[in-house]
Structure 1
Amino acid sequence: MSKTVKDLTAGTAGGIAQVLVGQPFDIVKVRMQTSAKGTYTGMVHCATGILKNEGPLAFYKGTLTPLLGIGVCVSIQFGVLEWTKRFFASRNVASGTGGPDGKLLSDSQIFSAGVLAGLANGFVSGPVEHIRIRLQTQSSTAPEYRGPFNAIKKIYSAHGIPGVFKGQGVTFVREAAGYGIYFLAYEKLVQREMATKGIKREQLSPLNAVLYGAAAGYALWAIIYPIDMIKSRMQTDGFTPATGQKYTSSLDAVRKVWRAEGLPAFTRGLTPTLIRSPFANGATFLGFEMASRVLNSL
């Protein structure tokens, strides 16, 4: 089995773990991001409202899309990341830097690898998250879409490829900035652990994989949360003025949200995100590291 196939497979394991752990928090975040000002007094109010009005299964509404899509997304992230790291390592060997095997990458190399991983991931995460958000925010009593495939079919029939990829520009900005920081934070923590203890990567403890993944998740959201909020607004907006379109572009969304709701709107829903982040991102890196060890032992 090639290294790239192993990376993609391990990334899929990490993505599935991320979705199963993080989905209930994500639906609360999306509801708070996209609701009118004053709809919810806080995370608990939103969560209890969902539980009371829609039942416990509502916290996994739209899960099929991310379970399939995010598994692919994280697979792509780690596949591109690890390929790019190997590319930089080979360059380092040629230039005599990065240690004997070239694997000690510079901060700029790690960040660049993360940016490329994020951009590659964005081609899938954009439409996946768009469909998920449409399902998460639709009425539970009179839903417009019966499921993810029905949503894709209806949106594509009415608005074509641009409709399915609505909010794609801001998605690319979020992914590039976020995953550059995300993987840089994780790799620096892992490198420090390896240097301090004189161990190899496969000797990193599962607990530290979780803790470092959690820390990387906080670094990610510290950078991208306001961008993510605008993405959510764009992906729940109408497709045309006739269907209730509020924003003509992402920049238009920033201006209108700022004028109407002020700075608090850009951090609304942050609390469930911060609670979700260590669990979801810790699970992601744990899933990837453990799956990689199993695959590398075959």
Structure 2
Amino acid sequence: MSKTVKDLTAGTAGGIAQVLVGQPFDIVKVRMQTSPKGTYKGMMDCAGGIFKNEGPLAFYKGTLTPLLGIGVCVSIQFGALEYTKRYFARQNLLNGRGGEDGAMLGAGQLFTAGVFAGLANGVVSGPVEHIRIRLQTQSNTNPTYAGPMDAIKKIYSAHGIAGIYKGQAVTLLRESAGYGIYFLTYEKLVQWEMQKKGIRRDQISPLNAVLYGATAGYTLWAIIYPIDMIKSRMQTDGFSPSTGQKYTSTLDCVRKVWRTEGIGAFTRGLGPTLIRSPFANGATFLGFEMANRLLNS
């Protein structure tokens, strides 16, 4: 297998682990982000309402889309990241930097690699998350869409490719800023342990991969949560004034949310996200690192 194929395969393993661990927390986050102010008293009220009114399987509503899509997204994400890291390593070798193999990248190089990974990922994650959010927020009693493929067909039929990619501008902003800091944090922690203990990357313990992934996840959400809230609003908004459209653009959404709901709206649903983050991101990096070791053994 080529190095790129191995990276993509390992990334898929990380993406599947992320979805299976993080999906129940994600639906609570999305419901809190997109519901009118005062709908829920807090995270437990929202989770309890979902469990009582829709049953335990509701926490995995819309999971098929992210299980397939996020697996692809994280695969692309890690593939782009590792490709860019190898490019910078070659440049470092030519310039006598980054250790014997040039692989000890600087902070700027790691951030840039993360931005590139985020932008590559965003091309797929935008429509995947859009469809997932539509399914997560629709009524159980009178659902608009029968499932992911039905949602894609109906949205595309009525609104074309622009409908599928609704909220894409704010998605790309979220992905580029977020994954720049995300991968910078994780890779710097990995470098720190390798240098401190004089070990190879594949000698880092799985537990530390989880802990470093959890830390990276917290830095990611600290940067992107308000952006993510706007993305959720844009992706649950109507497609036109006749279908209940509230926001004409991303900036219009920011202004209206600020004016009508205040600054608190930009952090609504943060609780389940912070609880989800260490588990989902720890699982992502554990899945990637373990799959990578297996493929390269």
For residues 94 and 199 of structure 1, the distance between their equivalents in structure 2, rounded to whole angstroms, comes to 24
Give deviations 1:83-120, integer Å, cap 9, x for gaps: 00000000000011111110010100000000000000
Task: Give 1:45 deviation, angstroms.
Answer: 0.1
Q: Any runs of at least 4 consecutive aligned residues in structure 1 with deviations exceeding 6 A, and if so which?
A: none
Asked if residue 88 in structure 1 is aligned to residue 116 in structure 2, the reply is no
1:224 corresponds to which residue?
224
1:114 corresponds to which residue?
114
For residues 68 and 109 of structure 2, the distance between their equivalents in structure 1, rounded to whole angstroms, comes to 30
Task: Give 1:181 deviation, angstroms.
Answer: 0.3
Q: Normalised by the size of structure 2, how large is the TM-score?
A: 1.00
Question: Residue 49 of structure 1 aligns to a residue in which SS?
Answer: helix
For residues 99 and 294 of structure 1, the distance between their equivalents in structure 2, rounded to whole angstroms, comes to 25
For residues 101 and 293 of structure 1, the distance between their equivalents in structure 2, rounded to whole angstroms, comes to 19
Asked if residue 29 in structure 1 is aligned to residue 29 in structure 2, the reply is yes
Equivalent residue runs for 1:113-152 within 5 Å: 113-152=113-152
Give deviations 1:231-256, integer Å, cap 9, x for gaps: 00000000000000000000000000
Give deviations 1:20-62, integer Å, cap 9, x for gaps: 0000000000000000000000000000000000000000000
1:188 corresponds to which residue?
188
Aligned-partner residue type, residue 139 of structure 2 = S
Aligned-partner residue type, residue 292 of structure 1 = N
Question: Residue 57 of structure 2 aligns to a residue in which SS?
Answer: helix
Aligned-partner residue type, residue 250 of structure 1 = T
1:286 corresponds to which residue?
286
Aligned-partner residue type, residue 224 of structure 1 = I
Aligned-partner residue type, residue 179 of structure 1 = Y
Aligned-partner residue type, residue 84 of structure 1 = T
Aligned-partner residue type, residue 114 of structure 1 = G
Q: Normalised by the size of structure 1, how large is the TM-score?
A: 0.99
Gaps spanning 5+ residues in structure 1: where? Answer: none
For residues 193 and 96 of structure 1, the distance between their equivalents in structure 2, rounded to whole angstroms, comes to 22
Aligned-partner residue type, residue 58 of structure 2 = A
2:274 corresponds to which residue?
274
Gaps spanning 5+ residues in structure 2: where? Answer: none
Task: Give 1:77 deviation, angstroms.
Answer: 0.5
2:234 corresponds to which residue?
234
Equivalent residue runs for 1:35-74 within 5 Å: 35-74=35-74
For residues 106 and 185 of structure 2, the distance between their equivalents in structure 1, rounded to whole angstroms, comes to 12
Asked if residue 100 in structure 1 is aligned to residue 100 in structure 2, the reply is yes
For residues 200 and 99 of structure 1, the distance between their equivalents in structure 2, rounded to whole angstroms, comes to 13
Asked if residue 263 in structure 1 is aligned to residue 263 in structure 2, the reply is yes
Of all paired residues, the percent bearing the same amino acid is 81
Equivalent residue runs for 1:164-175 within 5 Å: 164-175=164-175
For residues 222 and 20 of structure 2, the distance between their equivalents in structure 1, rounded to whole angstroms, comes to 23
Give deviations 1:190-239, integer Å, cap 9, x for gaps: 00000011100000100000000000000000000000000000000000
1:198 corresponds to which residue?
198
For residues 94 and 194 of structure 1, the distance between their equivalents in structure 2, rounded to whole angstroms, comes to 23
Aligned-partner residue type, residue 34 of structure 2 = T
Question: Residue 246 of structure 2 aligns to a residue in which SS?
Answer: coil
